[in-house]
Structure 1
Amino acid sequence: MGAYHHGERIAQERAGLLDNADFSSAAIGAAIPGIAREFLAEQPVIVIGGTDANGDVWASQLTGEPGFISAGGPTSLDIAAMPAPGDPLHEALSHPTHLGMLAMEPTTRRRMRMNGTAQPTAGGLHITLDQVYANCPKYIQKREPTKRPAMPAAPRHSRELSTEQTTFLTGADTFFIATTDQDGNADASHRGGNPGFLQPLSPTRLRWPDYVGNAMFNTLGNIQVNPHAGLLVPDWATGTLLQLTGTATVDWDPHHAEAIPGAQRIVEFTIHHIVQTDHASPLTWSTPQYSRFNPPPPRPIEGATA
């Protein structure tokens, strides 16, 4: 299978980018480069993705003082933090499980993806890595962080988006998506665009365009073999986190994609469960400088309801 699993190869072939994917595969390794260790040590937040006991996939984040993420060796990582009680991944990470991770620095638009098996420790997590690679800075909005004391509210659960949540998602410029392959190997990735690129279609359905990327198709390849996915949408101004789990499908019809600026494909997401935690993060972020790579957002959908 090489660097890619069956679902990724299907997605690469459907997109007509097998040769591009083979070229990109050279970037995938199992060891953390020295310069990347320094990068990780500077980060105050890391996005994670995994599966709960019910088989639902969730994306979440861990925060700490710079240095809370450290490379214990070339193929291992230590994170001095755990998801808080009430987080959908709190229980899952109390025992060994496969974890997808994304360290992203909005200030410099740098990001790094890592996947591996996480073991709980007294101080957090120890991860034995099986995949490490950098991603390009496309579609990352530049922001500066500020830390302030946070008093997280109790998580609020629902099955449908409220009017307030729908409005929030319509204005989002960034979200993170967690997926897994057929064997449960998790991945966490980033999606960005101008406000409006993430479109609520109804209280239980979302849609977004899939823009030009690195041709690896890790996320869409996972969806090919396992439709379960989780989204994390941060409120950068308040530290509130909106977590959604559900199922995703990819619309490969080029005629449908033509209607959305910059879209190569369209992804639709059906919501099964929502968790909102107000003021969950101690980090707030400045007003964004939007990426110059962001295509114009799609036109609002007539008839879409909250």
Structure 2
Amino acid sequence: MDMPWHSGEQALHARTGSVERMAEIGRQVIRDYMPDQHRELFNKLPTMLLGALDASGQPWATMLAGPPGFVATPDARTMTVSTALDGQDPALAALRALGVGAPVGLLGLEPHTRRRNRMNGRLRALSGEGLTVEVVQSFGNCPKYIQARDPLAWDDTPPALAHALGASLDAAALTRIAAADTVFIASASAPVPGDGRADGVDVSHRGGPPGFVRIHRRLDGGVELRIPDFPGNRFFMTLGNLLSHPSAGLLIPDYANGELLHVAAQAEVVWTEAQRELRLRVTAGLRRPGALPWRWSEARLAPQFEPAA
């Protein structure tokens, strides 16, 4: 089996003294098929996170939705997502432009149980009714830092027109970011990922107490977002991608009203004595009111963020 880590991930494993250990773990847990346990989760999800790379090398993250069962796995190496594809979605627009063979990152996260599994692959088909992805990498994630939410109701109201935002965003976007407890990040190993098993696009989860994403105004009037990198599985897939290709696509969902905020940024990983931090210089944004039809319960904080007794 090929090495499952690309050069950016391997560089971070070397920095943390875990090269041999992660090489061993990677070959054990990163597969070219979806285990039955992963397929069981994917097949009952109400949403699916998706990451894609546009022709300029900019990653974008989005959230697709449907009734449980809208994601299916006909076999262990194939996933289908049956949902209406919004023409205003930047990640889907990127897939349409690149076509069959485009790299795709997928994250299946069930907020009310905190279960999550990831699958990175290649686009096999895309139509107005959904998409099909062929597996390249499949692997699990632990439930840490996920805020639990229950899907409560489905709103059939068509999405409103999207609002394009500049590098300074706007007051509504900044307010949404400042209140966020959940962010998703799309990243890629290169502007044009190759055909290797370790290359491609990934979408990952970041969670924290409301306000964990800090907003900084730059001297040039732009916006920089700072996100702490809490200890995890040490795969360093997102950080390894950003070391190799420092462009990120953020997705900040509003679970109460269904708005999706997409943010494009240039990324830097900063290492401090206390903690790693992602610093993301915003280059553009897109606000899509009503793009997420599910409405959700209030968040129940992940155990890692509950006040000590």
**TM-score, scaled relative to structure 2:** 0.89
Asked if 1:135 corresponds to 2:156, the answer is no
Listed one character per residue, the Cα deviations across residues 37-82 of structure 1 (whole Å, up to 9, x for unaligned) are: 2211111110000111222111011111211111121111111135
Q: Is the 8 A contact 1:61 1:83 kept in 2?
A: no
Q: Is the 8 A contact 2:185 2:204 kept in 1?
A: yes
Asked if 1:244 corresponds to 2:250, the answer is no
SS of aligned partner of 1:195: coil
Q: Which runs of 5+ in 2 are unaligned?
A: 194-199
In structure 2, relative to structure 1, the CA distance for the partners of 1:190 and 1:49 (3 Å cut) is same
Question: 1:146-225 residue pairs with structure 2 within 5 A?
Answer: 146=152, 147-159=154-166, 160-182=168-190, 183-184=192-193, 185-202=200-217, 203-225=222-244
Q: Tell which deviates more after alignment, 50-59 or 119-128.
A: 119-128
- In structure 2, C-alpha distance between the alignment counterparts of 1:124 and 1:149, rounded to whole Å: 18
Moved over 4 A (4+): none
Pick from 59, 62, 71 the counterpart of residue 60 of structure 1.
62
Asked if 1:144 corresponds to 2:139, the answer is no
- In structure 1, C-alpha distance between the alignment counterparts of 2:149 and 2:292, rounded to whole Å: 15
Pick from 267, 279, 290 the counterpart of residue 279 of structure 1.
290
The one-letter code sitting in structure 1 at the alignment partner of 2:157 is A
Q: Which runs of 5+ in 1 are unaligned?
A: 259-263, 297-306
- In structure 2, C-alpha distance between the alignment counterparts of 1:189 and 1:57, rounded to whole Å: 12
- In structure 2, C-alpha distance between the alignment counterparts of 1:204 and 1:295, rounded to whole Å: 29
**TM-score, scaled relative to structure 1:** 0.90
Q: Tell which deviates more after alignment, 99-108 or 45-54.
A: 45-54
Q: Tell which deviates more after alignment, 73-82 or 274-283.
A: 73-82
- In structure 2, C-alpha distance between the alignment counterparts of 1:135 and 1:64, rounded to whole Å: 23
Which residue number in structure 2 is paired with residue 107 of structure 1?
A: 112
Percent identical residues: 35
Listed one character per residue, the Cα deviations across residues 19-39 of structure 1 (whole Å, up to 9, x for unaligned) are: 553354221111111122221
Listed one character per residue, the Cα deviations across residues 110-146 of structure 1 (whole Å, up to 9, x for unaligned) are: 0010000012244321111010011000000011012
- In structure 1, C-alpha distance between the alignment counterparts of 2:19 and 2:306, rounded to whole Å: 24
Shift of 1:291: 0.6
Q: Tell which deviates more after alignment, 211-220 or 146-155.
A: 146-155
Which residue number in structure 1 is paired with residue 196 of structure 2?
A: none
